[in-house]
Amino acid sequence: MSNKSGYKKQQNLSFAQFLAETPSFVVILLSAVLSRTILVFVDLLDSFGNLFRTGIVTILSKKLSKDLRYEYNYGVGKLEALASLICDSIVFFCLLLTIGLSIQSIIFPEQPSNLIIVVVGIKVINVCFDIAFFSKQRKILKIHNSAISETNYAAALAALLFDSVTLISLLAMWLLRNNLIGGYISPVISIFIAIYLMVGCVKRTKSAIEELTDKTLPEDMQMKILNILVRFYNSYSTIYSVNSRKSGDIVLIDLHLSFEKSTNFEEIAKLKKQMQDEFDKQIDNCIVNIIVGNE
């Protein structure tokens, strides 16, 4: 699948998710105000994060579905990483706030509201939508592997897990609403869910920061680069530098080499092709550039 077609499918799916999340957010907001249950408030924060994320991804995917070769010469990896960083930062802040409120609820427990059963019905609908969206997102990831599709796959999986656990937890709270233990179910489960989702946010944020700061490739990949350079050591004179970075799902490697004066352009072009073939065998989606220096 071409990038244009892949981003178009991502745009349509994210817009559908945005439309489905909007009424859910409004209903959960009213439920949180009426029930005053911490788990419902956590669900509200999660819904807000999903609403914000799907809106950003819809706008971004629409832009990425256009021909941006002359606008972004080195690809759109940084644009995707920036969008991922913004979305994960908002979600992380909401989850951090959730943990604080959950701890407060454990110290000062409250009896669950009878209105929780209304939220249970809402979560049943949400889980059904989550299953459908997760299935479609997984199909998109299989045919169009990019940073933005990977982020949304992780988000779709997190949404499915969160809503499923929330559904079971709220049902248990309603059944135990007249029992003392019912007041502790919501904050305790909320903390575990929040921590799990925060770990995912940290991992994606770390990856996004590495891409935005042009961090060089991991040591194992650098060793592969050096091994290939050693294999072709008779074809050039000196290695001045080896620069590498990742842009989205593309690995960029710039080799600054010098050659003998008798080396012509055709020989350098042939060397580049041979190196590119070797790199393709060991590193996926790799682009090799040779920068010619002087002795």
pLDDT of residue 198: 84
Token representation of residue 70: 């002359």
| Residue 74: per-residue pLDDT | 60
pLDDT above 80 for 264: yes
- In this prediction, residue 249 carries a pLDDT of 67
- pLDDT per residue as tens digits for the range 46-70: 778 778 877 887 887 777 767 655 5
Q: What is the pLDDT, as a whole number, of residue 4?
A: 62
The reported pTM is: 0.65
Give per-residue pLDDT as tens, 104-158: 777 876 666 666 777 778 778 888 888 888 888 888 778 766 666 777 787 778 7
Over residues 178-218, the pLDDT tens digits come to 776 766 776 787 788 778 878 888 888 888 888 787 778 88
Question: What average pLDDT does the structure give for the chain?
Answer: 78
pLDDT for residue 81:
78
Q: What is the DSSP string of 141-159?
A: HHHS--HHHHHHHHHHHHH
Amino acid at 85: L
pLDDT tens, position by position, 213-245: 777 888 888 888 888 888 888 888 888 888 888
pLDDT of res. 207: 80
Give the Cβ contact number of residue 249 at 10 Å.
Answer: 18
pLDDT exceeds 80 at position 33: no
Per-residue pLDDT at 215? 79
